[in-house]
Amino acid sequence: MKETKIRIYDKEVIKEIEILKMKKGFNSTNEVINHLIKRGLENTRKENESGESLKDFEKEFKNKMNILTLKIDEIYIQEEINKTLLSNIYNIKLEELDGEKIDRDLVETGAFGHLPEGLEKIERRMLKKRKEIEESGDSI
C-alpha cells in the first residue's frame, strides 16, 4: 500500500477536523482525513457521472427542441397553404355569386388567393397582439 503524507496549514480546516474527530467518534485525525477524502472522492465521482448524464440530457433536449421547431415550421407552412386555399375558394365563390365567369388560368396563378379584407383585419390584429406579447416577455 502506497502512503501519502499531507500537510494542512489552514487553521479553520484543522479546527473543523478536530471538531469532527470529537463529535463523530473517530480514533485519530488520520481517520477523519481519510473519511473526508473518501467522501470527497465519492461526491466528485457522482458529480462527474451526473455531469455526463446532464450533457446527455442537454444533447437530447436540444435534439427534441430542433424536432419541435421543425414541426412548428411544418404547422406554419400548412397554415399558409390552408389560408391560401380557403381564400381562393372564398374569393372564387364571391365572383361566381356576382355572376362572373372564372378563368382557370387566373385560379392557377393565384389571382384569388388574397385574404378577404375582414379576415386581413383579424390577422393584423392578432399579429400585433402576438408582437406586443413577445416584446413584453409575458406568456400567453
Q: What is the pLDDT along the chain (140 residues), one digit of tens a residue?
A: 678 788 888 888 888 888 888 888 888 888 888 888 888 888 777 766 666 666 777 888 899 999 999 999 999 999 999 999 999 999 999 999 999 999 899 888 889 988 888 888 998 999 999 888 888 876 55
* Residue 2, domain member (yes or no): no
Note whether residue 1 is domain-resident.
Answer: no
Q: What is the dihedral of CA 54, 60, 64, 69, to 10 degrees?
A: 80
Packing angle of the helix pair 11-24, 29-97 (nearest 10 deg): 100
pTM over 0.95: no
104 located within any domain: yes
Task: Tell which residue, 113, 109, 126, 121, has the closest CA to residue 86.
Answer: 113
Which of 77, 91, 100, 78 is CA-nearest to residue 120? 91
Please tell me the total count of domains within the chain.
1
Write the CB contacts of 26 (distance below 8 Å, at least 6 apart in sequence).
20, 32, 35
- Domain interval for residue 129: 11-136
